[in-house]
Amino acid sequence: MKFQFRFASILQLRQQVRDDAGMAMGQAIAAIKRVDDQSSEIGAERQTLRQMGQTRIGNVSVDSLLAGGRYDLQLLTELESLAQTKSQLLQELDRRRQALAAAEAEVKRFERLEAKDRQQFLAEQAKREQAEIDDATSRKYALMRRR
User: What is the reported pTM?
Assistant: 0.74
Chain-wide mean pLDDT for the chain? 91
Q: Is residue 59 part of a domain?
A: yes
DSSP state of 81: H
Q: Is residue 121 part of a domain?
A: no
pLDDT digit string (tens) for 95-126?
A: 999 999 999 999 999 999 999 999 999 999 99
Q: Is residue 132 part of a domain?
A: no
Which domain does 90 fall in, by range?
8-107
Angle formed by the axes of helices 62-146 and 8-54, nearest 10°: 160
Report how far apart, in Å, the C-alpha atoms of 3 and of each of 83, 109, 117, 130, 143 are.
Answer: 54, 19, 9, 18, 35
Structural contact between residues 18 and 104, judged by C-beta atoms closer than 8 angstroms: yes
- CA distance linking residue 17 with residue 65, whole number of Å: 55
DSSP state of 3: -
